[in-house]
Amino acid sequence: MPTNTSKKTHRIEDIIQAIYFSLDVRRIEDLNIPLFMSRVSEYFNIQLHYYDSCSEANTLGGDFHIFINQNQCIQRQWQDFAHELGHILEHEGYQWGIPGLFRHYQEGQAKKFAHHFCVPSFMLRQFNEIVVSEIVQLFKVEYSFALERLEMHKNALMEGIRNG
């Protein structure tokens, strides 16, 4: 029987696949990172800004904004965008002032969302075998991020085998 964590992961994967498909991105070849970030922002009515400070998500005047540090490499911008999008889609309000453990929990959720958003499961399943360096190249993410995502993918496959 699947665990609660596995059910939540499937929910995240389903949401992410629906976002990608609604924007007509079904294969890795369809994914143009800067254009896709812009299209996702428009889809969710989020204003996307590039500036010279730490990346963050914010609500200003009731509107959602994602601020991305323009001085980072495109891989980091992509990962930060997905992380901040995860906060907007999964959380409500500001993190500042909430208890440390709850903030840590929300950061973990946003990190997990980012891994699945930048390297979606439905795209990973298109490969019989894939290695970290291919994930880095194809999905435009940093090596450590790709390594973590590959481990998540392998664990999910193993859990699927165990659960029948």
Q: What is the pLDDT of residues 82-105, one digit of tens each?
A: 999 999 998 655 555 565 665 666
pLDDT tens for residues 16-53?
Answer: 999 999 999 999 999 999 999 999 999 999 999 999 99
Please count the structural domains in the chain: 1
Partnered with residue 14 across adjacent β-strands are none
Q: What is the pTM of this model?
A: 0.87
Q: Structural domain of residue 26, as residue ranges?
A: 4-162
Cα 150 from Cα 144, distance rounded (Å): 10
Between strands 56-60 and 63-69, the pairing is: antiparallel
